[in-house]
Structure 1
């Protein structure tokens, strides 16, 4: 407040105002060229704080700060810096500058009730020393706690007496780094001598960084005045100052030099962000463990010649003694009050008790919690690196309530966690923290099957697709032609009247389907073609037989509905499990509310299917895979799942409050349980039932795509045989084609060749045997 008042006076009088003690970031909002902040802004250290938090993987912190402009000015910047490293501030502890010890103790007890054990203290040394003294008395300076103090206390370490230092063992602190130099040593020696002359009773007085900033600010002002007014005739009155104020601020803005505090120069009226030293308070002193620089992050030494990028690795820090005289890194949170047990909510269900079952004994008024989800959670707790005391508490789910109500119970703090068959859904994760899934899931549609024996007289055509039928017939005709060409001149079976030629050729080709052809083939090319074609026919007929058998068998059990569009078109009723997030999926599919039914157990679902959609039941059920697998296991061969559409989900997970540090550790424990043999000892309901085939549908016809390779081989063999025969025949007819008798036309020569083709080839061994 004082600084703002003086700045306003300087702005009106056009006189530069230089401050070497105010560090509040709020002063940066004062838009006046006449104010120069010759200190490092408090907001410049929030990046160093967030780097430390990120290096040790702490996810939540509690700032403890003084309730004035100095304390509150840094908080918005701290929020922003921590968000960048995925850390949160769920609670702020504000202490009045004039708070009594009792008031400080009450506030610290509030902080103790939280799970968080990472504290950032931002206040002056006098108030901060009292806070640490009381924190030690109430047990907040022991194992598992992390305390980080800002430069507001660390820069003034010399003002803290030995008694208060004993309460700060293991604390980490940030200090503006001042490089040691010969000039600094000479200055400290001169200053101490002068100080002792003026104050002989103060023997151990030391100059802190504010003194260095004050000296450098005065030196900068002297340089600026010398630049503006020169070194002679330096005599100012009020009017001269007012007239030369703009020149003086320009000279101050240009001033650059190596001062006692390091490189000194103003940028937009502020000192540049500097290096921070990280110290660990041990005994009566401090131990430097590293540095933070704006360009390289955490470094062990300022020799950054080998550093190429920004780093937040804790390996770049030296060894740390944490509060309680421990070297193990605190996890940053703990169960807040000794003796308190986590309150774990468990949904009470009437169906699907294989996953969660809550049983109450009325005689003893005791409640038993069983089921796969409960056993997995117990196994996970055993894998945790630290004990977690907990108690299960039943949560009744009414007929008109969804599992989102369980989420609300955690959001409002009624329960510390919820365990059950709860699906990980995106909109739920906005309000709570899910662990990794311990059971994979998804959403499918189940429909009844009907006995649909196909009595169609033309069902025998279905095994092959239309294109395969056409291709097969064409190849039978092609093979008949090839065999006739190759055998016509040498085989009496392929001679005779034209109709006899055609009939015999097609008879031979089609009879290969049942391998009943009686005609012999005499030429080697024809034999090769026939062998290849028989192989093709054999594969084709066997595939046809298998496909027809499968087709007739599958068609006995056909789904009553093939897709969602059919359900919508016929306005059939559909059902989903009470409390499931599947309700949102059903609504997104555009089903009319009157078409939507709910079920709460396997028996209830079977009852709805038995009634049918026309009698108030359902024609299809939409639910998660684990639940419907249990249903199909009990009603095998009566229902099936549709292949489309399928909906993805995150699986089953445990629920914790948003930002809970337990969620990450439980997730790691889930991985250990899944990867170990302990899962084999947990009775999984999906492994102990005979699960029906997941999907049944109509048998698909065989298509040309599956056989084009065979047809290609047969076609190539036939074409090559034809080329060989034609080439040999034309070579034998070369005398006819190449006669020098000019009186015979080309057309007559071709006709003569064709007549020769129709004649017997008497040179063939077949006719040679006849002769």
Structure 2
């Protein structure tokens, strides 16, 4: 026979009711109650009388079975539902949640540590954990919900009794917290009673997603039970609109069936024997398999997901541990994302399928508060200026520009304001951790120690810590001046010089007497012309257009070659001088040298820790100019700078200092956000877009250009020049000079042949004249001879003997 005693859900009254049932009604088994607070007091009574108690509390401490051997948990544990809740949150990409739970032993046993473990597995953080008393008054409830409303997180998990949930959702609706962008998820303790909720509660829970214990609503046993339940419940509570049995009715039916089976098998047995019989129970009940292990039923691993909409609710599907979501309770197709279950009616969104963002954007009235460090070692990354006339700060330079550009690539408009911060970078990080402000932007290095407190975006600069030392200026290569050209280049340059000198000598020797003479003298003159013509013999001193043409082309080629030689030699001399005065940190340590680092950065800790420098040998500096002065004066032997700062420093003092030694892979500058920040994933995505579209590269180039003093070629750029570099020029000058020489020789040959032809004609004429003269002379001789014969006194031999008149 079943005896009933109402405890009104009060632990003390439950204990009194149990004692009354045992002493007065001589009951052999106690069924109920549902809360752990009542169960624990009843267990004390049942233990005293050796009466088994079948509790409907779905959670109990691990030590309960040892403390109360007669306590049997007849309701399957539902703590696995916390994994279902975590998977729902993971499905929609939410990273922060607010948890509201009832501050009772029952809720505590059901929420800790299962909820923390489930959230940790899917990388979800709890923004606020709000415990509420079962008897919390309206003013306290109003205050707590108002505080939650001011937070950015808009995802709420409610794990309370139905009575407290009714008050929570009623006030949440009044405070307009059941509207767009809000997400509400309820656990089994609330959702399993949804079929019996009144219209007032249903109307205040529109869009709520609930997790509840699942059971098969098929089979002959269930059909028989549900028919009888409809009839009895409908007659007793005719005002209720929903008469279908819930999980609690099924659990109670299975508990009664368990006790009845045990009592039938152990008639007239004592309480301990009855307990042993109960613990051996094994059958398929309406709520699931009834088989006890360590005085408990196996926990439920399958839950139903519902969505409250309209006047009732809609069944979305099921979730099964280690499998995921499915549309049916058995033999379904599983998916790890809840999106596979179809559209969800979220609060304020009607039938829209896309999930809310889960957090509220900062507004103009309440913008994102971002701290910016004031007092960086260089103002090229962050610069904070104060205008006394307007009493306002302005923020600029690289890191600020990158953040501003990043926010422009977000899918929404982000309201934020910069606030200067004058403390150390470690203090800045801890301020973000404590949520005194929402983020930090600047030259803030990403290091593991800081990642324990906050989260960083991707680095927007290169990473690394490097050593900067003075340049050691000396060169020990006496023959460095020949290195700009290869051997082949030197040979070809000499040959083309001599060839061009020969061309000029050949053409001009007929016009200049100094270009003629003995062979040895002409050889010296030719070699002198080969080189001196390029520098001392002006164009107007050349007499032939052919020599002028050859010299003009060669002068153009020689100008290019000499300029290239000068540039290459200058580069080599510069590179030879750019040697670090100290090559590595081992030299610093062995010399017990003093080094410098930034006063506000993490570098000092790194130098003292992994690199092993003595604290007494480390000096702090606050600006790059202080570094330069200390390095020049010898106050420090080296400075250790973060790679982005070192590049600017060396660019500014490129003739004095150089980066030496290896790069230690630490640091890199990132933007700082609290752990699990709601906006961080979007900022990271936007920053990647800024990097991929080239905007970040342009900003980096502008940053380096602002400090650039001169370009220093690399080793590859100072390689010796070969003939291939001037092949076309050599061909041009060679062809030009050769053409000039050939033209000159062809012209000389023609002149010679014309001269020889003229000489031959003249000779023939002379010979003809001489022949004629000889002929006339013979005739005259003959005439003279004839006259002499006729006048002997007049012969020449006698002419002188004639008297003078």
TM-score normalized by structure 2? 0.68
Quick one: distance in 2 between partners of 1:69 and 1:427? 37
For the Cα contact (< 8 Å) 1:564–1:645, is it kept in 2?
no
Secondary structure of the corresponding residue to residue 9 of structure 1: helix
Q: CA RMSD in A?
A: 3.0
Question: Any residues of structure 2 matched to 1:496-511 within 5 Å, and which?
Answer: none
Matched, 1:627 2:645: yes
**Residue 450 and residue 679 in structure 1: after superposition, are their counterparts in 2 closer, same or farther (change >3 A)?**
closer
Matched, 1:567 2:598: no
For the Cα contact (< 8 Å) 1:558–1:696, is it kept in 2?
no
Q: Which residue of 1 aligns with 2:686?
A: 669
- Of 342, 356, 362 in structure 1, the residue corresponding to residue 368 of structure 2 is 342
Shift of 1:598: 2.3
Quick one: distance in 1 between partners of 2:63 and 2:251? 18
Matched, 1:299 2:326: yes
Matched, 1:188 2:223: no
Question: Any residues of structure 2 matched to 1:225-240 within 5 Å, and which?
Answer: 225-229=263-267, 236=268, 240=269
For the Cα contact (< 8 Å) 2:429–2:450, is it kept in 1?
yes
Matched, 1:405 2:427: yes
Shift of 1:60: 1.8
Q: Which residue of 1 aligns with 2:526?
A: none
Shift of 1:88: 2.0
Q: Which residue of 2 aligns with 1:162?
A: 199
Q: Which residue of 2 aligns with 1:685?
A: 703
**Residue 317 and residue 201 in structure 1: after superposition, are their counterparts in 2 closer, same or farther (change >3 A)?**
closer
Shift of 1:552: 8.1
**Residue 202 and residue 249 in structure 1: after superposition, are their counterparts in 2 closer, same or farther (change >3 A)?**
same
Question: Any residues of structure 2 matched to 1:206-221 within 5 Å, and which?
Answer: 206-221=244-259
Quick one: distance in 2 between partners of 1:650 and 1:290? 47
For the Cα contact (< 8 Å) 2:445–2:669, is it kept in 1?
yes
Q: Which residue of 2 aligns with 1:741?
A: none
Shift of 1:648: 0.6
Structure 1 unaligned runs (5+)? 230-235, 461-547, 700-771
**Residue 419 and residue 37 in structure 1: after superposition, are their counterparts in 2 closer, same or farther (change >3 A)?**
same
Quick one: distance in 2 between partners of 1:36 and 1:338? 58
**Residue 115 and residue 301 in structure 1: after superposition, are their counterparts in 2 closer, same or farther (change >3 A)?**
same
Quick one: distance in 1 between partners of 2:168 and 2:213? 23
Q: Which residue of 2 aligns with 1:579?
A: 600
Q: Which residue of 1 aligns with 2:535?
A: none
Q: Which residue of 1 aligns with 2:58?
A: 23
Q: Which residue of 2 aligns with 1:376?
A: 402
Q: Which residue of 2 aligns with 1:129?
A: 166
Shift of 1:200: 5.7
- Of 347, 366, 375 in structure 2, the residue corresponding to residue 323 of structure 1 is 347
Question: Any residues of structure 2 matched to 1:400-549 within 5 Å, and which?
Answer: 402-454=424-476
Q: Which residue of 1 aligns with 2:543?
A: none
Shift of 1:26: 3.4
Q: Which residue of 1 aligns with 2:505?
A: none
Matched, 1:90 2:127: yes
Shift of 1:551: 9.3
Q: Which residue of 1 aligns with 2:675?
A: 658
Quick one: distance in 2 between partners of 1:289 and 1:94? 29
For the Cα contact (< 8 Å) 1:435–1:654, is it kept in 2?
yes
Shift of 1:155: 1.0
Shift of 1:225: 2.4
For the Cα contact (< 8 Å) 1:418–1:654, is it kept in 2?
yes
Shift of 1:206: 4.0
Secondary structure of the corresponding residue to residue 462 of structure 2: coil
For the Cα contact (< 8 Å) 2:327–2:333, is it kept in 1?
no
- Of 270, 292, 297 in structure 2, the residue corresponding to residue 241 of structure 1 is 270
Q: Which residue of 2 aligns with 1:153?
A: 190
Q: Which residue of 2 aligns with 1:105?
A: 142
For the Cα contact (< 8 Å) 2:407–2:683, is it kept in 1?
yes
Quick one: distance in 2 between partners of 1:261 and 1:342? 50
Shift of 1:627: 0.7
TM-score normalized by structure 1? 0.71
Quick one: distance in 2 between partners of 1:354 and 1:209? 66
For the Cα contact (< 8 Å) 2:471–2:577, is it kept in 1?
no
For the Cα contact (< 8 Å) 2:465–2:667, is it kept in 1?
no
Deviations 1:217-245 (A, max 9, x none): 1112222223334xxxxxx3xxx424xx2
Q: Which residue of 2 aligns with 1:743?
A: none
Structure 2 unaligned runs (5+)? 1-36, 483-568, 719-805
For the Cα contact (< 8 Å) 1:641–1:694, is it kept in 2?
no
Q: Which residue of 1 aligns with 2:81?
A: 45
Q: Which residue of 2 aligns with 1:703?
A: none
Deviations 1:392-427 (A, max 9, x none): 111124xxxx32121122223332111101111110
Quick one: distance in 2 between partners of 1:640 and 1:202? 86
Quick one: distance in 2 between partners of 1:100 and 1:190? 40
**Residue 226 and residue 368 in structure 1: after superposition, are their counterparts in 2 closer, same or farther (change >3 A)?**
same
Quick one: distance in 2 between partners of 1:174 and 1:348? 50
For the Cα contact (< 8 Å) 1:453–1:555, is it kept in 2?
yes
Secondary structure of the corresponding residue to residue 369 of structure 2: strand
Quick one: distance in 2 between partners of 1:411 and 1:203? 51
Matched, 1:637 2:674: no
Q: Which has the larger radius of gyration?
A: 2
For the Cα contact (< 8 Å) 2:386–2:393, is it kept in 1?
yes
Q: Which residue of 2 aligns with 1:116?
A: 153
Quick one: distance in 2 between partners of 1:551 and 1:633? 19
Shift of 1:273: 2.5
Q: Which residue of 2 aligns with 1:539?
A: none
- Of 41, 60, 68 in structure 1, the residue corresponding to residue 96 of structure 2 is 60
Question: Any residues of structure 2 matched to 1:689-704 within 5 Å, and which?
Answer: 689-690=707-708
For the Cα contact (< 8 Å) 1:641–1:695, is it kept in 2?
no
For the Cα contact (< 8 Å) 1:24–1:69, is it kept in 2?
no
Quick one: distance in 1 between partners of 2:435 and 2:346? 31
Deviations 1:547-575 (A, max 9, x none): x9999875544321111111111122211
Matched, 1:14 2:35: no
**Residue 50 and residue 662 in structure 1: after superposition, are their counterparts in 2 closer, same or farther (change >3 A)?**
same
**Residue 570 and residue 695 in structure 1: after superposition, are their counterparts in 2 closer, same or farther (change >3 A)?**
farther
Quick one: distance in 2 between partners of 1:592 and 1:218? 77
Shift of 1:688: 5.0
Quick one: distance in 2 between partners of 1:439 and 1:298? 42
Quick one: distance in 2 between partners of 1:561 and 1:414? 45
